[in-house]
Structures are given as structure tokens and as C-alpha cells.
């Protein structure tokens, strides 16, 4: 699915107000974190994830893996934060 620049801008605006849903640290992408990401993407469409203790290359690889695993798109990646979007039929309108 391809997002227009206007859609990306709208999602970045939404994401600016969000707090990270999960923080991925030294243990990496555990089963509980995977479940929480899946739950959050189903509920909200747009989520923010914080990646700690990752090099730039590791962060990029982790972002690509998460996007592929959950069928999401990376809207923005700044510092240790990534903003993901996945279309959902059950999303709460106020959340995203």
C-alpha cells in the first residue's frame, strides 16, 4: 500500500502527540512486545515505538523487520523513535 505525502503528513501530526506504545531495549523483540505491537496496531493504526541501545544499522534492520512482521509502514524515524502505520477496520477514531 502506497501512502501519499499528505497522508504521511497527517500521520506525523497524529504521531507527534503520541507517547511510545512499547520500548524495545536490550532484550530485543520479545513475544510480549510482539503481542503489544499487534494489539496497538489493531486498536490505533498509528503507533510510536522507542528503540533503545541500537546502532543506526540495527535500528534500520529492526524497523524493517517490524514493518514486515506486522504489515505496517514506517511513516517516520527520528532518533530512537519510529512511527508506524497499519490500516485497521477496528481503529478508534479519536486515537488516529
Whether 62 is covered by a domain: the verdict is yes
CA angle 19, 53, 10 (to 5 degrees): 30
pLDDT at 1: 63
Domain count, the chain: 1
**Widest distance between CA atoms in the chain:** 36
What pTM was computed for the model? 0.85
* Predicted local distance difference test score (pLDDT) of residue 30: 93
Reported as a single tens digit per residue, the pLDDT across 9-64 is 999 999 999 999 999 998 889 999 999 999 999 999 999 999 997 788 889 999 99
For 13, counting Cβ atoms within 10 Å of its Cβ (0-12 exposed, 13-18 middle, 19+ buried), the class is exposed
For residue 30, is it within any domain? Answer: yes
Q: What is the CATH number of the domain that holds 25?
A: 3.30.110.60
Residue 94 has pLDDT above 60, yes or no: no
| Residue 47, in any domain of the structure | yes
Amino acid at each position: 500500500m502506497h501512502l501519499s505525502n499528505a497522508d504521511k503528513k497527517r500521520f506525523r501530526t497524529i504521531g507527534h502527540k503520541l507517547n511510545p506504545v512499547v520500548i524495545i531495549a536490550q532484550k530485543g523483540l520479545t513475544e510480549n512486545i510482539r503481542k503489544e505491537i499487534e494489539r496497538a496496531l489493531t486498536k490505533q493504526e498509528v503507533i510510536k515505538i522507542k528503540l533503545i541501545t541500537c546502532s543506526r544499522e540495527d535500528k534500520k534492520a529492526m524497523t524493517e523487520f517490524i514493518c514486515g512482521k506486522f504489515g505496517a509502514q514506517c511513516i517516520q524515524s527520528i532518533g530512537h523513535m519510529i512511527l508506524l502505520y497499519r490500516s485497521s477496520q477496528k481503529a478508534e477514531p479519536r486515537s488516529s
